[in-house]
Structure 1
Amino acid sequence: MKKLIEGIKKYFGLLKLLFFLSVVVIVVRELLVLNKSLSYEKLLEIFSQIALWKILLMLLVGILSVTPMIGYDWILNRNLDRKWPKKYLLETSWMINTINNIAGFGGLISIGLRSQIYGKNKEVKAVTAALSKIFLFMMSGLSIYSAFALLRIGTQPHTSGLANDWLWLLGGSLYFPMVLLANAFFNKKTVHSDKWKEQLSLIMISFFEWTGVLATFFVVGRLMGIDYSFSTVFPIFITASVIGAVSMIPGALGSFDLVMLIGLTRLGLSKELVTSWLLLYRLFYYVVPFLFSLPVFAHTTGKMLNERYEGVPKRLLSQVLQKITVIGYYVFGILLMLSNVFPRWFDQYIWLQQFHLSSAHLFSQIPNLIIGAFFLIIGRGLSAKVSRSLIPAFILLIGTSIYCLSADYGMLIQVYLVGLLLLTYVTRRGLFRQQFVYAWEWLTIDGLILVLFSISYIVLGVENRHQLPKAFHFRALHFINLSIGVVWLYSFLILLSITLCSVLLIRYLQGKKESLGQDFDEEIVQRILTNYGGNLTSQLVFLKDKQIFVYEKDGEQTVFFQFGIHNNKCVVMGDPSGKKEDFREAVLSIIDAADVLGYTPVFYEVSEPFVFLLHEYGYDFFKMGEEAHVYLPDFTLSGKKMKGNRALINKLIKSGYTFEVLKPPFSQEIMTEIKVISDAWLGSRKEKGFSLGFFSEDYLQRAEMAIVRDQEGAIVAFSNIMPTYDKDVITIDLMRHHPQNAPSGSMDFLFIHLFEWSQAQGYDYFSLGMAPLANVGVNQKSFIQERIAHLVYQFGSRFYSFQGLRKYKAKYATKWAPSYLLYHRDTWILYVMIALLMVDDAPKREN
């Protein structure tokens, strides 16, 4: 037994969840059964014959009749020493009692719900004792009314149509005295019999509960105009209720209705009238109050699921509702616009006729088309989760509803718009972005929709030009076919109106453009690099062609990223620089900060460890190539493999060429010399940037420079050494030689001397930079984009020497480190690549 209790405790959370899910299943099942018994056509027919004020009064009586049951939970929580907020107690009690009315099972569902909701962190024994007392007295009201009914049929037997109806009433009447006797017999052990005032309160609550049940049934009948005698129908109703309670059928469906149908038809009422009476009674006492409790039940069950599964259900539901909302806007906008392009097609379907006006002249079409375009744009704003789209969305929905009412659209449109309004309100908390950045991916989709619409509108307009209003037949267009000219003018005016209005709305959603991070701040960058170190790409920040994002922890700036923005793509260059222990938090920080402003980070040329980290945040990866590393401790010119390089070095040394590493600051004379070499090397080509260094005096003055001089001491080749703030690896950036003055093999001469110099400085590796697309997509199971990249590598030598570059670096490389591009799954790889080209080719400025 002890093990059983421990096992229950261990899996209590799961059992609790299963109970709530079982309640959901039961409620859904009973609603489906109830749905079969509720004829909506019959309801509409009944409602058409009853005045509106009578329907509202039925609704009010039904709601008030449920209210006394809240008293059960007030007493229960007082016994459990619970002090819930009044709002919470009202909401949960209403939920429990209305669900119990639907699901039933003799009140067992309500006991289970009360135990789970109000019995948290309480001893099982105390909860059981309090609930048993409530449970025992819940039927006392029906028992009292059974005694009244039994007295009544003493003078009017067989009222219910059953041969032994008095036995049911007698059994019901005996329940209440049996409960009182049980209280007296068991004393305090189970029901705390000394609290007679509390017991009296429970009896009164139950009595008023069943009074409400009676009131709903009889008020509905009276408002329907049914002529009946209360004293005659009353025993039938109580007998049916006792039979329903004993059967434990949810809502007493079937047994209650059958007894009532037999009894009332025997009184002379028609079967159709009795069915209608029962139909409205169930609607206003069971269904409507339950519908009011649905949000609370959904919230309670959802909260439990959410807590158990660490917030995943809430996020998933939020995403689903948000997507449904966006689809709702798009569907409405497209249908409204298409109704003016395909009016005859819309006339063929009853539900589509709701979107179509009988008039089709210019002044009726322009508002329709503009409203349709607005729905597409607002849908896009909501899809982008832009907070500025909320108010225009509400204005658009309300304005469209008023317009559709005045323009004689169908009522289905009003229901659709109200539903869309509710969805927009429910999902409003998901709108967190401060500005709207129209991503190329979104622009492509929306542009295709509008282009296809425009083409269809013009083409169909030409085909139906005879239907155009005569007011638009201008004689001034004599040089072309008159009707076609009118069509073009007509279409142009409409499309121009749509375009202007759309641009204004998009401009509003964009708001005041805010950029991510900050401009280059030398003091911050230098402090982080000095204190925590950097990497192979850190020095590129001093080109000042990028912005920086600084991560701060405990008041100290520890990590920075360098990036450029194009469209909504925030292209982050290389790995973050700074304190490695903070990299994970820093990456999440820049992703979140960019997300709020509508930007999507793209991580360019990052190392392998960040692939796994960013994959957790919804990023896919693309292998850009491999970076060639030379292991310096093992580097030597001796040996058969380096024979050719030894000969080259010796030849250039004999010719008078020398290698030298200069320390900054450099004289103006040297800067002028290397500028001449750089310009000659570039020729007609434009400087690249972002991921590559460009010629900038300020940038070059920040680090040592390796140069090659000829016999006369003139510089013929140079390369700036990039500080990595790490003794493990070193690399270079600009590597340029004079096309005419530098001898063949000057770059090998420069590299080999750099290897030897770096070796002497104590570095472990020398990075030769990346070989683009090297070893990308070589496996048959590689991603499709990587397989395409492999084809570019194999057959793209006409445009770029991919294979030649890798072959050259392979002469020295002892290790290849993969380099990756990481992009979010919501972005398209084609547009990511275009953004990379754009930031690389952005105009460079001299520093």
Structure 2
Amino acid sequence: MAAELQSESPESAEPPTRSGWRAALAEYGRAIAAVFTLIVFAAVALAIYRLTEEVSYDDVVSAMATTGYDQILLAVVFTALSFMSLCLYDWNAMEFIGRKRPMAEVALTAFSAYAVGNAAGFGMLSGGAIRYRAYSRAGLAPDDIGRVIAFVTLSFSLGLAAVTALSLIPMSSEIAPLLDISPVWLRAFAIAILLGFGVLIVIGQRRSLSFAGVTLRMADTPTLSRQFLVTVADLAFSASVVYALLPEQAAISWPAFFAIYSIAIGIGVLSHVPAGIGVFETVILAALGPTTNIDAVLASLVVYRLIYYVLPLIIAIALVSFTELRHYSKTPALAGVGRTAARISPALLGALTFILGVMLIFSSVTPTPESDLELLQNILPLSVVEGAHFFTSLLGLFLVITARGLAQRLDGAWWAAMVGAAVALVLSLLRAFAVFEASALAVLLIGLFASKRLFVRPASLFRQVLTASWLTAIALICICACLILFFVYRDVDYTRSLWWEFEFSESAPRSLRAMLGLTIFSTALAVFSLLRPAAPAVTPSTPEDIEKAVGILGKSDVADSNLVRTGDKAVMFSPDGQAFLMYGKQGRSWIAFLDPVGPKKARDELVWQFVESARLAGCRAVFYQASPVLLPAIADAGMQAFKLGELAVVDLPRFDLKGGKWANLRQSASKAERDGLSYEIIPVADVPNVLEDLRAVSDGWLAQHRAKEKGFSLGAFTDEYILSQPVIVLRAEGNIVAFANILVTETKAEASIDLMRFSPDAPKGAMDYLFVSLLTYLRTEGYGHFNLGMAPLSGLSRREVAPVWDRIANTFYEHGERFYNFKGLRAFKQKFHPEWQPRYLAVSGGLSPVIALLDATLLIGGGLKGVVKK
């Protein structure tokens, strides 16, 4: 991005420093967010516990048992209709951005994204990750995928607010007593929301409104109207799922419940608690508790979670497994469905494994039905039942941890999940004849078997580091399990002797022991993850590393990979030693430059290896100037790509100065020759003969620009680096007045240059002449393309639904000339009529790309001082 910007070297630059609350936030931001989530959830758990003081576990179980089959069937139908509506979000988004895909592909992706997003929580992130993986393989660019995710998220948020407000106005008199507020205030709040929504629609009709350097654009009225209807249908059907399961004595009309449901969903989303679990239930219980039996409402909510959250996930796994087994790729019309299934299958299996692990944990702290215990007592010894109950909780925790490895396509995680699910299936039958649990585990086993070919990464499951979000999720599960335990055994007299009671009829001791085992092992896991030794610091490459990397890059088609020769970057090799990537560290970012170099299979594995190594070091992984070829591997690794700019590539066989469009360059080159300039290609063997002349030109250039050497994505003038490649020089009256080192590989597929420096007395137009001479020479030598370098922040989307990143970048591109000659650099490259290819900044961990780009800029400039200097 910063080509031809020279400044302070990394060795002499001072690293940027942060102080005060900003430093604390940067260092402990994730930990603070995790603690906040745990506090919110603990408060919600306490609220639920108090709301259900008069409710017993047996009452809830009895209420669930009285749920009619007609109610369940109706809830399933409404669930199907709701998910059909959800699929229309993606379909409308595709139509809006002008990138239509076959309906089958979109429906499978959207259905799976919502199934995972609803069950695992963080719908925009978890569901967005599935969309990114599926749509990137389908050929959509990252900015298009970002528009789809933004369109879906924004349309749902605005639609939810509008629907809630519209339903509150006529139903405020009925809902206000439930919420213990005045109907007037409730109606005023709804009107205020609608007025704000109306202002946004007016802005949308103006098409754009600029403020604080950011342009806000909204969809046109037909699109807004269509999407609003989809949101209404989605919320109406999903609310109807709960309403169908409510007991008959619930004294509330459907319109009033619809408003309460919308409010509960909104608060659940704002709480950032995964799947809004607990928060949603608290709002519903608080609203309906005074008018009906809380035990019946709680039972309805449990069944709702099973039908609306777990059932779609199981169906998604079944669909993907069926696709994998049938090998739809043989049918052209369904080939896209098969590709989509292959991309999202690991994420779906990981989500189902996570949910089933949680289900096993919760079932281990609840009593076994007495009828099942009587049957077990006749056929199994007590020790078997006790052991099955205890190990069920541990297996649940094991499956929760394994879920992360499945999402990363680890072969070890596949085997662990297969064994864990099989053992859990047996234990669920030995413990309580839990047919539903066993059936769900059987679906997981079938899905794992059908998708075996997708889990080919030979990485160790035990080397994976549980991040703050995963540790938070495990802590939330433990809090939930404790809440369920104390709710179920509210009336039990807790004494020391309870731990040692072993009887078929005593369920409380079994649940307590299972909870103790879960607490001990989860605490040990957290301590191990937090206190494990830090990964080694990033160290510059050794001469042996560079020699090995040079041997690999010689067979590649990427000329810029020669920048590994500078020695200022660390080098990471694939396990088979056939590929490498070069990277540096700035702040908490590990930044890889360019794509990995080597065979495709080894390159893809290196992406995972790099991301995992960065996580082991407690850092974030970043790919700087990633090409479109790398996008599928980036998506699989859970990274998101943002367009960084466009690379100018000249097709050398077509390069010819004849014709009108080349007139300016032709005239510039002719004038340079009349002024006495001539060029010469110095082969590697002869570069030592002119090394001191080149050094003099370089020193003069640096002095004239008051600059020092940069690094990372740019080379620096060192003897080892300059002597490693051929050089083109310009001479005037026999003296060298300009030079550039030429980057080439053995394949001759591509050539490029890095350092290009001129003495102060070089004639005007020397730069054009150097490029024209070099391109002509390379065409004669049979090279395929010439890489002119990247034009940063150019070619980003300016459409109505452009992501925030594109809008910020476009603003800086338009108004940042005082910092960098963005437009001038692109205009210079455009003179050679290149093909413009996109390049991306890929970031993991949901990090803002602005922070990653800042770290990359500091790394290139050699620290803050290097950036602010010219």
What is the TM-score with the length of structure 2 in the denominator? Answer: 0.44
Q: Bigger radius of gyration, 1 or 2?
A: 1
What is the TM-score with the length of structure 1 in the denominator? Answer: 0.45
Larger relative contact order (CA 8 Å, sep ≥ 6): 2
